Structure 1
Amino acid sequence: MAERNLYPLFLHVQDREVLVVGAGSVAEKKVEDLVSAGARVRLVAPRATKRLRALAKEGALTHHARAFTEADLEGAWLAVSATGARGVAKRVFQEAERRRIFVLAVDDPKHGSAISSSVVRRDPFVVAISSSGQAPALTRLVRELVEQVLPEDHWVRAARELRTRWRAEGAPMGSRFAELVRSFKARATK
């Protein structure tokens, strides 16, 4: 596979249309993440998992129980192709490219213009890790390692307090990091 230069990006999908083609177990996780991010998910697939049918019944998404058509991309800001059917993935990609819509093709980077990452969320941090689609299992391992080293809530509270003080005092940006490190070293030895 040719090396791809990727531009890492977090997308604001709140209240934006996202088309998901495919409704199996692979699509399920992507859909849940999109719904939790506030996207208006349109799901297109002849069949869907029990969980996805339940989300549709709750009104969290719209499910069109049929095969994909090019018109399904109308109004979409992003498309997720999670069918496992290469022919369908190719059609989704070609039409999305024509319309200038990014496509996340799950486990099929050839038919995508975006690659999802493994994500760690620990407020206020969101850390995304990607191997550019080349080593998904290793990406997951790295995510698990990052989860172990992210600061706990009390560290975040302390950093927020320091920032509030720095802003009130007009502390220069250059001095802040060193003070943060000193403060945390002092806390760690207590």
Structure 2
Amino acid sequence: MANKIYEIPVIETARLVLTLPDVDEAPRLVTYIKDNVEHLAPWSPPRPEKYYTEDFWREKLLASQEDFRQGKALELVLFSKETPLGSIVGQCSFTGISRGPFQACYLGYNLDYRAVGHGYMFEALTGAIAYVFDDLKLHRIMANYIPTNERSAKLLRRLNFLTDGYSRDYLFIAGRWQDHVLTSLTNYEMTTVT
């Protein structure tokens, strides 16, 4: 399964389309990132200056497509169905995909400041998690959050993630090493390794 080549998904929910976009979406991703710098700063690692450029995002999108085709990661962009141009609402990623007896990955996500509080991320992750479990056949999704990030804690509980533990100085976020609550969601339907 590790070498299987996957077709890039298009996951539709009531209000969103989730997919790994082509390189022509780089300008829109730069706009999304720049619009949300302040909003995402408390939860983000340090970013190099090139992170805010179209060249970076073109390379990133190409690399993300290749990682997906190789079964290493799934990095989705959330597009709104409610706006004429399908504005970017957020991102979610399933990275560090491990096969063999583990069959697991890490979940990360972010949301546009204008979309907070409207249930978009719950909707997006409900669809994306179903794809990861049903189509990619993963057994476990791990998600970690800073203890003060109450929105993430509430979202993960609502998605039925369970707390696995607490890790001190886990990630370098917002300019310092920060503790994280470790959570996971298990696919109990998966009873064998493919």
Same fold (TM over 0.5): no
Q: Which structure is higher in helix share?
A: 1
Q: TM-score, normalised on structure 1?
A: 0.27
Larger relative contact order (CA 8 Å, sep ≥ 6): 2
Q: Which structure is higher in strand share?
A: 2
Q: TM-score, normalised on structure 2?
A: 0.27
Larger Rg: 1
